[in-house]
Structures are given as structure tokens and as C-alpha cells.
Amino acid sequence: MPLHPAIVHLPLALTFILPILILVFAWAIRAGKMSKELWLVMIGLQILVTGSGYLALETGETDEEKVSAVVGKKIIHEHEESAEIFVGTTVIALVASVAVWFLQPAFQDKARFIVALVSLLPIFFAWQTGHLGGEIVYKHGGGSAHADFREVFRPEPTAIEPTVETDNESLKADDNDYSGESVIEDDEDKREDE
């Protein structure tokens, strides 16, 4: 099983959540409800987004040759370019987060809110990269590059449909059934016997 699809969801999901978390932390630190040292959590999350994004980019490179046998290289290249831009924008947001830590305390509050705005930039590229990756898999059949063809081409066993006459005893005609003529004939045969 390829590693790329297992990794890509982490940076994409975190990218959408991070701006909200940054705003909450920035507000809480400004209001004195959180210690300024908790900004390190935001820096850690930015590192996680950038690192996992880079790892997803590298695992995509590994899968590219196999998937390009099924999907056109142009489509894969568009996805790859979008992913590279995405990782680049996460680096910008990470640098901005780290810079806040080293600013003088008088400038840190405003800078945290600016970081929240900067962290919106990767969202567009995360969406675009995910969309193009989804097209590779679902629209162009890229996932089939990793399929085990022994499983794909194994014939499915066919079920034998039950027939009324042989398989279901309760549906067989017997003396208790009313089918018109045969009952009348049976009654006539019984009278003759008497």
C-alpha cells in the first residue's frame, strides 16, 4: 500500500484548523488568560504542518512513477506544483510564527494576529492540492496503479439461483394446492374409486 495517501491528510487538515487556533491563542495571550510561552505550541503545530507537508511531497515523488503509468504526467505535474507551493506557504507561516517569539513584547500581540492572517495563505493551496490529488485518484483512476491485479481479475463465484421446482420444498405443488383442473380431476378420480 502506498504511503502518500496516508500522510497527506495530516498537513491538509491542520492547515484548515491552524488559523483558528492561532487566533484563539493570540486572543488568550493578549487577554492574559494564557502564558506567552504557550505560543510555542503554535510554532510546534506550524512545524508539524510544514514537516508533514514536506513528507507528503516526498512520498508523492516516490509514487509518481507508478501512478504515471495510469494517469497522464501533466495532471500529476499540476498536483505536484500545487503541493510545492503549499509547502512553501507553510514555511512562510512557520517563519512568521517563529519571528513573533523573538520580537519585543510590545510588538508580539499585533504580530500574532498578523501570523493568523499569514496562515490563511496555505489554505487555498491545501484545497487546490487536495482537489487535484482527488481527481488523480477518483476521476483518472490513479489508485488502480497500486491495485493487486490478482484480486482485480479474480472471477467472482456465481451464485446458483434457486429454482422453484428443486430447491424450495414449500413451493412445490402437492395435494393441498388449488390449481384448478388438477384438483377437480383428483376429486373425480376419488369418486370413481369409491
What residue spans define the domains of the chain? 4-148
Residues 172, 176, 180, 186, CA torsion sign: positive
Other beta carbons within 10 angstroms of residue 98's beta carbon come to 16
pLDDT at residue 38 tops 90: yes
**Tens of pLDDT along 73-84?**
899 999 999 999
Rounded Cα gap, residues 23 and 11, in angstroms: 19
pLDDT at residue 89 tops 60: yes
**Tens of pLDDT along 92-119?**
999 999 999 999 988 999 999 999 999 9
Q: What is the DSSP letter of 85?
A: H
pLDDT in the model for residue 116? 95
Q: What value does the mean pLDDT of the chain take?
A: 84
pLDDT in the model for residue 169? 63
Confidence of residue 148 (pLDDT cuts 50, 70, 90): low
Please count the CA atoms within 13 angstroms of the CA of 29 that sit on its side-chain side: 25
Q: What does the radius of gyration of the chain's CA atoms come to, in whole angstroms? A: 33
pLDDT in the model for residue 62? 85
Amino acid making up residue 156: E
